[in-house]
Amino acid sequence: MSSILSFSFKPTETAGEKNVQKRTMRAEIFFPILLSVMITMVYLVVQIAMVMPATLPFGLQLLFELAASMYFLDLFTGLVHLNFDYQAIQNKELYLHTERDVPGIQRFNKHDPLFLTASKEDQFLWNFLVHHDVPYPAADTDYDLVMQIGKPVMAIPVSLALAYSVGLTLPGFVVRVILMLSALAPATNHIHIWAHARTRNLIRSPIWRFLQDYHLVLNPDVHKKHHTEYDCNFCLVNGWANPVVNRLAALMRHVGLLVDEPPTITMRRERDLHVAATELTAVHEKKAADATISEPTPTESYLSIIARRLTLGSGKVPAGSAPKHRRD
């Protein structure tokens, strides 16, 4: 592997390693920024809710709280998605590897030493980023898709219960928004996958198509832009928070906290260069092997000359040569 990389891939590898180092350093301050944005948005919505008329009908208030919970969940998924899309796989060989279908991903995850010996962080990032190469169907089971988000979300109602048990209380509308968000969160992965299914005309339910068309859940055309440009539309619930996340990403690129080129595009270019270098190396090695077989060694050439002279000296005609006529 190292000989292949040193053949003609070294300049690109060096540039890629620098890019990895930059993204790793930026990741150290990336999460605090995302957390600050989430806290700020929650604070603003709480303030808006507190100044709402006290006589607002309870049904309308619940509708507002449901919309708020969907917005916060959409914002959270967008920020998390943005964060992981700009993280770097440290293992260079794993970074350069991809699969083209779900069975290939599953075999790679279960049997390939390259994946099995990688760090847990690199394994997670590779599985997260390979979705850009194989967007549909999901490589995970329905149960896994639910539990990937359902497990961490379980901590929210438990935390509320513990806070209440020690005398800490929150306004009723805040609790309801949090609980609605917790209830909706496990469906996030399916909402995302079904947007890809709609792109392939696999969604038949008129109700779900209506929800997608009116942006109550993730619209396939909105999310499709993410899979063509990779630097926008990160939100996965309904896209309501995309304007905020897109502007935040643009600002972070402007101040140097994110690289200008989406990492997926960089990674694909480096993979293509790696494949080209590997193929070129194989061609050169094959030519060298063929030349070694077809060209006689100096010893073989010398022996053939001696044999020819001995044949001529004995009066025998060498094979393949025309007989010479003597003049009388």
The packing angle between helices 263-294 and 120-129, to 10°, is: 100
- DSSP label at 187? G
What is the C-alpha end-to-end distance of the chain, expressed in Å? 71
Query: 267 lies in a domain?
Result: yes
Query: 237 lies in a domain?
Result: yes
Res 11 pLDDT > 60: no
The packing angle between helices 155-165 and 172-184, to 10°, is: 160
* Whether residue 262 has a cis bond before it, omega within 30° of 0: no
Query: 76 lies in a domain?
Result: yes
- pLDDT for residue 61: 84
Q: How far is CA 156 from the centre of its chain?
A: 28
pLDDT digits (tens, 9 = 90+) for 306-324: 555 555 555 554 554 444 5
Query: 297 lies in a domain?
Result: no
pLDDT digits (tens, 9 = 90+) for 112-121: 999 999 999 9
Query: 315 lies in a domain?
Result: no
pLDDT digits (tens, 9 = 90+) for 100-115: 999 999 999 999 999 9
Q: Are the CB atoms for 177 and 69 separated by under 8 Å?
A: yes
Query: 284 lies in a domain?
Result: no
Q: Are the CB atoms for 137 and 193 separated by under 8 Å?
A: yes
pLDDT digits (tens, 9 = 90+) for 132-163: 999 998 888 888 888 888 888 888 888 888 88
Residues 6+ apart with CB under 8 A from 284: none
Q: What is the largest CA-CA distance in the chain?
A: 135
| Structural domain range at position 154 | 2-279
Query: 324 lies in a domain?
Result: no
Query: 61 lies in a domain?
Result: yes
Q: Are the CB atoms for 259 and 23 separated by under 8 Å?
A: yes
Q: How many domains does the chain have?
A: 1
Helical spans, DSSP H, in 51-187: 58-85, 92-95, 102-111, 113-116, 120-129, 142-153, 155-165, 172-184
Q: Are the CB atoms for 79 and 36 separated by under 8 Å?
A: no
- Tell me the average pLDDT of the chain: 79
Q: Are the CB atoms for 181 and 204 separated by under 8 Å?
A: no
